[in-house]
C-alpha cells in the first residue's frame, strides 16, 4: 500500500505562517498513503479523519472545502467577499523524506517557501477563467438527502472487525455531522446479491401465514444491531431507511428459483403485499422505523436480463406490477398503521423511465397515484440521455425522485473491483451527482458503504467498487477512497430541506450546483475537471463577488451566509 504519511498538524504557528502567504490555513485531516491508482486515507481503531463544519462569524465570510487528485482531502480555507485580490487554493504538496524527518519549525518554514514557489509557478502557467452567478431568488427542488446501503456484505465485514472502535469510525465517517452527514439508508428486504447466500423470510414451502415474520431472521439479527449502533454513535438525527426486496421466497415464483425468468404467482399477490407489511412491523418492533419501501429491486432482471443476472431477482412487467400495486400492495399499506410510509416505484434503470409508469397507468388507471416517488439506478446514465428524466418529470411532476443505487465496476469495460485511490472514479461520481441534481432529483443513496479488496463479499461474485475498502488481511483498518470525499462534497453541506438555487457558470470550464440551506446559508459545489487551474469569479445576487483560483482536477464546496 505504500508509505503512510503523517497528517499535517493544526499548529498555531503553522496557521500563522501559512496565513501570512495567502490567508489559508491548511488542514489535511486524513492519513494519506499511496495506493495502486492514487491516494487513499487510512482509518484504524485509534485514528480516523473527521472535519467539523465551519462556523461563519461574519456575513461577508466564506469557507471553501477542497479535495483534489493531487491529494487534498477536505482541506479548508476561508476569506471574505469584496476583496479585489485573487485568493489561491494551494494544492497538496508531496512531503519528502527530508521534511518527514525535519523539526517542526523547519517543516513550517519549508511550507512557506514551497507555497511561495507553488503560487508563482501556478500563476505563470495556463489558467482558465469562469464566472459563476448564484441567484438565491430562483429556486428549484427541495432535497431529501444522501446516503448509502447497509447490505449483508457490510454486515459481514463489520462483524469481523478486530476492534469495535473501527466499526464506530465507519459509522461516524458516513453518518455523523463531522463525517459525511448521511441521513438516508437503503436495506434489502430479505437478501440481495451482496450477501453470503440468497435468503428471505417465509422460505418454508406454502407458508402463506408468514409464520416466521414475528421475529428477525438470523441473517437480520446482526445487521439490525449494527444499524442501531450506527444510529447511537453517529448521532444521526433523522435517519430515513428505505427497503426493497430482491426476490420473494422461491415457492411464490413461477420458476421456483431465486433467480432466472421468474415472476410472482398470481395466487400469492396478497401474500407478497402482506410480506411487506409484516416486514415494516418487524423493523419497527426491533427499533428500525422505516421511511420508505419500493415495489422491488430491478424488476426487469427477472424478465429480460435473466441470462446475465445470476443473483436474486423477481420479474415484473409494468402491467403485472400495476395490478399488484393497485389491487394489493397499495391498499394493504394505505389501510394499515403504516399508511404514511413513502412508496417508491421501479428501482430500475433510466431506460425504463417514463414508459414503465405510463404502461402501469394504462393497465390500472391512476395506479401510480399510490407512489410517492420514483427511484432510479444510475448504471446506464451515460448511455441513455437526460430526455428520459425530463419526460418523466413532465408525466409525473409531483413525485420524489431519488437515485437509489450507484457503484462502479458493473460494466464489461470497467474493472469489476476496487481501484484503490482512483480519482477518475471520484470524478464520475461528481459528474453524475451534478447532472442528476440539476435534472431535479431530490436525493441519492449509494450502494454498499464498504466492501473488501476484491469488491465483495458477493455470493455470485458480482464484485464492484465502494467508497470505503476494508483490509481483510487484518480487519484492523479501512481505506477511504477519493469517491468517499466526492460524495461528501454534496452530502456533508447539503442537509435535508436544502433548496436548489440557480448557479449559472459562464462557460464549460466549471460544473456547479448550489443550495439555500434550512439555516439560510448558501452552499455550492464547484467541480474543476480540467487539467488546468481555474479562476472562478463568484457573483452572489446579495453578497457580492470574489475571485478564487482552484487547482486542476479538484472539487470544492463553498459555504457562506
Residue 115, all three cell numbers:
507555497
| pLDDT attached to residue 101 | 54
DSSP H helical ranges for 125-234: 152-159, 164-175, 218-234
Lowest mean per-residue pLDDT among 182-186, 363-367, 410-414: 410-414
Residue 542, all three cell numbers:
446579495
| pLDDT attached to residue 95 | 82
CA distances (Å), 557 to each of 31, 204, 336, 434, 499, in order? Answer: 21, 52, 43, 12, 16
> Using CA atoms, how far apart are residues 76 and 229, in angstroms rounded to an integer?
30
- According to DSSP, the β-strands at 75-80 and 61-68 are antiparallel
Minimal CA–CA distance to 558: which of 519, 512, 523, 507? 523
Q: Which residues of 365-377 are buried (b: 16+ CB within 10 A; e: fewer)?
A: eebbebbebbbbb
pLDDT tens by residue, 444-485: 999 999 999 999 999 999 999 999 999 999 999 999 999 999
Q: Residue 534: pLDDT above 70?
A: yes
Minimal CA–CA distance to 479: which of 50, 170, 65, 94? 170
List the beta bridge partners of residue 67.
Answer: 555
Give the helix/strand (H/E) hosting 68: strand 61-68
Mean pLDDT of 125-133: 92
Q: Residue 57: pLDDT above 60?
A: yes
Confidence of residue 7 (pLDDT cuts 50, 70, 90): very low
Which residues, including other chains, have CB under 8 Å from residue 94's CB and lie 6 or more apart? 71
Instruction: Count CB atoms within 10 A of the CB of residue 80.
Output: 16
Instruction: Count CB atoms within 10 A of the CB of residue 394.
Output: 9
Which residues, including other chains, have CB under 8 Å from residue 423's CB and lie 6 or more apart? 38, 69, 482, 553
Residue 58, all three cell numbers:
461574519
Q: Residue 102: pLDDT above 90?
A: no
Q: Residue 266: pLDDT above 50?
A: yes
What is the overall mean pLDDT for the chain? 91
| pLDDT attached to residue 113 | 45
List the beta bridge partners of residue 145.
Answer: 443
| pLDDT attached to residue 98 | 58
108 neighbors 11 (Cβ within 8 angstroms)? yes
| pLDDT attached to residue 308 | 76
> Using CA atoms, how far apart are residues 438 and 527, in angstroms rounded to an integer?
14
Q: Residue 19: pLDDT above 50?
A: no
DSSP characters over 484-533: HHHHHHHHTTS-TT-EEEEEEESSTT-EEEEEE-TTS-EEEEEEE-SSSE
DSSP characters over 103-117: -HHHHHHHHHHHHHH
| pLDDT attached to residue 411 | 86
Report the chain's terminal Cα–Cα distance, integer Å.
Answer: 41
| Single pTM value for the model | 0.91
Mean pLDDT of 128-153: 98
Q: How far is CA 26 from the centre of its chain?
A: 26
pLDDT tens by residue, 27-39: 447 999 999 999 9
> Using CA atoms, how far apart are residues 276 and 81, in angstroms rounded to an integer?
53
Q: Residue 16: pLDDT above 80?
A: no
481 neighbors 420 (Cβ within 8 angstroms)? yes
pLDDT tens by residue, 190-243: 999 999 999 999 999 999 999 999 999 999 999 999 999 999 999 999 999 999
Q: Residue 106: pLDDT above 60?
A: no
> Using CA atoms, how far apart are residues 70 and 32, in angstroms rounded to an integer?
11
Mean pLDDT of 52-72: 96
Identify whether 531 is preceded by a cis peptide bond (ω within 30 of 0).
Answer: no
- Indicate the DSSP class of residue 15: H
Rounded (5°) CA angle 353-356-361 = 125
CA distances (Å), 91 to each of 9, 26, 107, 136, 269, in order? Answer: 17, 10, 17, 30, 58
> Using CA atoms, how far apart are residues 118 and 112, in angstroms rounded to an integer?
10
CATH homologous superfamily, domain 145-200+210-496: Glycosidases (3.20.20.80)
Q: Residue 43: pLDDT above 60?
A: yes
Query: Does the CA dihedral 478-167-476-406 come out positive or negative?
Result: negative
Minimal CA–CA distance to 480: which of 527, 420, 425? 420
Question: Any idea how long the chain is?
Answer: 561
Mean pLDDT of 85-94: 95
| pLDDT attached to residue 22 | 34
Mean pLDDT of 292-300: 97
Q: Residue 50: pLDDT above 70?
A: yes
Q: Residue 187: pLDDT above 90?
A: yes
CA-based radius of gyration for the chain: 24
Work out the percent of the chain whose per-residue pLDDT is above 90.
86
Report phi then psi at 135, rounded to 5: -125, 100
Instruction: Count CB atoms within 10 A of the CB of residue 64.
Output: 24
Q: How far is CA 178 from the centre of its chain?
A: 16
Q: Residue 77: pLDDT above 70?
A: yes
> Using CA atoms, how far apart are residues 273 and 248, in angstroms rounded to an integer?
11
DSSP characters over 231-252: HHHH--SS-EEEEE-S---GGG
| pLDDT attached to residue 40 | 98
Which residues, including other chains, have CB under 8 Å from residue 196's CB and lie 6 or more apart? 152, 156, 457, 459
Q: Residue 120: pLDDT above 50?
A: no
Residue 255, all three cell numbers:
420458476
Confidence of residue 560 (pLDDT cuts 50, 70, 90): very high
207 sits in the region (left: phi over 0; alpha: psi -120 to 50; else beta) called beta
Grid look-up 491529494 returns: 71
Higher-scoring residue by pLDDT: 22, 357: 357
Q: In what order do the strands lie in the sheet with 31-35?
A: 31-35, 38-44, 477-480, 468-470, 450-451
Higher-scoring residue by pLDDT: 16, 54: 54
pLDDT tens by residue, 348-401: 999 999 999 999 999 999 999 999 999 999 998 889 999 999 999 999 999 999
Residue 529, all three cell numbers:
475537471
Amino acid at each position: 500500500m505504500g508509505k503512510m504519511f503523517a497528517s499535517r498538524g493544526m499548529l498555531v504557528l503553522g496557521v500563522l505562517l501559512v496565513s501570512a502567504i495567502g490567508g489559508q490555513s491548511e488542514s489535511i485531516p486524513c492519513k494519506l498513503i499511496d495506493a495502486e491508482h492514487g491516494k487513499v486515507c487510512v482509518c484504524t481503531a485509534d485514528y480516523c479523519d473527521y472535519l467539523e463544519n465551519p462556523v461563519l462569524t461574519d456575513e461577508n465570510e466564506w469557507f471553501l472545502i477542497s479535495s483534489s487528485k493531487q491529494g487534498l482531502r477536505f482541506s479548508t480555507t476561508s476569506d471574505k467577499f469584496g476583496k479585489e485580490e485573487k485568493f489561491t487554493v494551494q494544492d497538496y504538496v508531496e512531503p519528502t523524506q527530508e521534511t518527514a524527518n525535519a523539526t517542526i519549525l523547519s517543516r513550517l518554514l519549508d511550507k512557506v517557501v514551497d507555497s511561495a514557489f507553488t503560487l508563482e509557478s501556478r500563476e505563470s502557467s495556463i489558467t482558465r477563467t469562469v464566472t459563476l452567478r448564484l441567484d438565491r431568488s430562483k429556486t428549484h427542488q427541495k432535497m431529501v438527502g444522501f446516503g448509502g446501503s447497509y447490505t449483508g456484505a457490510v454486515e459481514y465485514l463489520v462483524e469481523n472487525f478486530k476492534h469495535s472502535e473501527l466499526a464506530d469510525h465507519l459509522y461516524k465517517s458516513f453518518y455523523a455531522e463531522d463525517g459525511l452527514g448521511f441521513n438516508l439508508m437503503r436495506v434489502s428486504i430479505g437478501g440481495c446479491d451482496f450477501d453470503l447466500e440468497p435468503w428471505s423470510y417465509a422460505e418454508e414451502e406454502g407458508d402463506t401465514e408468514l409464520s416466521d415474520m414475528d421475529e428477525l431472521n438470523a441473517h437480520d439479527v446482526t445487521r439490525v444491531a449494527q444499524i442501531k449502533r450506527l444510529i447511537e454513535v453517529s448521532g444521526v438525527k433523522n435517519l430515513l431507511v428505505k427497503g426493497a426486496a430482491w426476490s420473494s421466497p422461491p415457492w411464490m415464483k413461477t420458476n421456483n428459483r431465486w433467480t432466472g425468468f421468474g415472476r410472482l404467482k398470481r395466487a400469492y399477490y396478497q401474500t407478497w403485499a402482506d410480506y411487506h407489511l409484516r416486514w415494516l412491523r418487524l423493523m419497527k418492533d426491533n427499533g428500525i422505523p422505516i421511511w420508505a419501501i419500493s415495489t422491488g429491486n430491478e424488476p426487469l432482471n427477472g424478465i429480460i436480463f435473466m441470462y446475465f443476472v445470476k443473483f436474486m431477482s423477481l420479474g415484473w412487467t409494468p402491467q403485472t406490477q400495476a395490478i399488484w400495486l393497485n389491487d394489493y400492495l397499495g391498499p394493504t399499506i394505505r389501510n394499515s398503521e403504516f399508511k404514511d410510509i413513502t412508496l417508491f416505484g421501479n428501482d430500475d434503470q433510466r431506460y425504463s423511465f417514463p414508459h414503465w409508469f405510463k404502461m402501469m397507468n394504462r393497465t390500472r388507471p391512476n395506479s401510480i397515484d399510490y407512489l410517492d416517488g420514483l427511484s432510479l439506478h444510475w448504471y446506464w446514465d451515460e448511455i441513455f440521455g437526460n430526455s428520459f428524466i425530463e419526460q418523466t418529470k413532465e408525466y409525473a411532476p409531483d413525485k420524489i425522485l431519488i437515485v437509489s443505487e450507484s457503484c462502479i465496476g458493473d460494466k464489461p469495460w470497467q474493472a469489476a473491483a476496487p481501484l484503490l485511490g482512483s480519482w477518475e472514479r471520484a470524478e464520475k461520481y461528481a459528474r453524475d451527482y451534478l447532472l442528476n441534481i440539476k435534472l431535479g432529483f431530490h436525493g441519492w443513496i449509494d450502494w454498499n458503504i464498504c466492501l473488501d479488496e476484491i469488491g465483495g463479499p458477493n455470493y455470485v461474485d458480482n464484485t464492484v467498487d465502494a467508497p470505503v475498502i476494508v483490509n481483510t488481511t487484518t480487519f484492523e483498518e479501512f481505506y477511504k477512497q477519493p469517491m468517499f470525499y466526492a460524495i461528501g462534497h454534496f452530502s456533508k453541506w447539503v442537509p435535508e430541506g436544502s433548496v436548489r438555487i440557480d448557479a449559472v457558470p459562464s462557460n464549460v470550464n466549471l460544473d456547479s450546483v448550489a443550495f439555500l440551506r434550512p439555516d439560510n446559508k448558501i452552499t455550492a459545489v464547484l467541480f474543476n475537471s480540467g487539467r488546468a487551474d481555474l479562476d472562478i469569479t463568484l457573483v452572489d445576487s446579495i453578497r457580492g463577488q470574489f475571485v478564487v483560483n482552484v487547482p486542476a482536477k479538484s472539487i470544492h464546496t463553498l459555504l457562506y451566509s
